[in-house]
């Protein structure tokens, strides 16, 4: 009796979720409004999001103002929910979380 050995080709992992295997990242989107100042938006972003300085927050605020919205953070759902609610609680106008 002869046995046949076959070699399977390994499957490639999906990279849609940044290699996490959890699907695409969740996006936190801030909308432009008529009641927040550039400085207020920059402060809220810098106070909430890791790695965002006040100066970078001003740049993001400018992008929000000029395009109507901006993705300010993306990643795992739990952190997205946390950052979304903290930004909302600081008075920013938020779009619903999206993938």
Q: Is residue 74 part of a domain?
A: yes
Q: Is residue 23 part of a domain?
A: no
> Residue 14: pLDDT above 50?
no
* Cβ count near 14 (within 10 Å): 13
Q: How many structural domains compose the chain?
A: 1
* Cβ count near 24 (within 10 Å): 13
Report the largest interatomic distance among the alpha carbons of the chain, rounded to a whole angstrom: 81
* Predicted local distance difference test score (pLDDT) of residue 35: 97
Instruction: Give the model confidence (pLDDT) of 61-93 as tens digits.
Output: 999 999 999 999 999 999 999 999 999 999 999
Q: Is residue 43 part of a domain?
A: yes
pTM summary value? 0.78
Confidence bin at 55 (pLDDT 50/70/90): very high
Higher pLDDT, 9 or 90: 90
Full domain range(s) for residue 62: 34-94
> Residue 21: pLDDT above 80?
no
* Cβ count near 56 (within 10 Å): 14
Q: How far is CA 85 from CA 6, 29, 81, in A?
A: 52, 11, 6
């Amino acid at each position: 009796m002869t046995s046949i050995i076959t070699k399977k080709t390994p499957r490639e992992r999906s990279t849609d979720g940044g290699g996490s295997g959890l699907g695409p990242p969740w996006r936190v989107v801030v909308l432009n409004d008529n009641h927040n100042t550039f400085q207020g938006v920059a402060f809220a972003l810098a106070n909430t999001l890791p790695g965002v300085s006040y100066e970078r927050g001003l740049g993001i605020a400018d992008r929000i103002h000029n395009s109507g919205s901006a993705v300010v953070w993306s990643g795992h759902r739990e952190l997205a929910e946390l950052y979304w609610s903290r930004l909302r609680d600081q008075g920013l106008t938020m779009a619903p979380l999206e993938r």
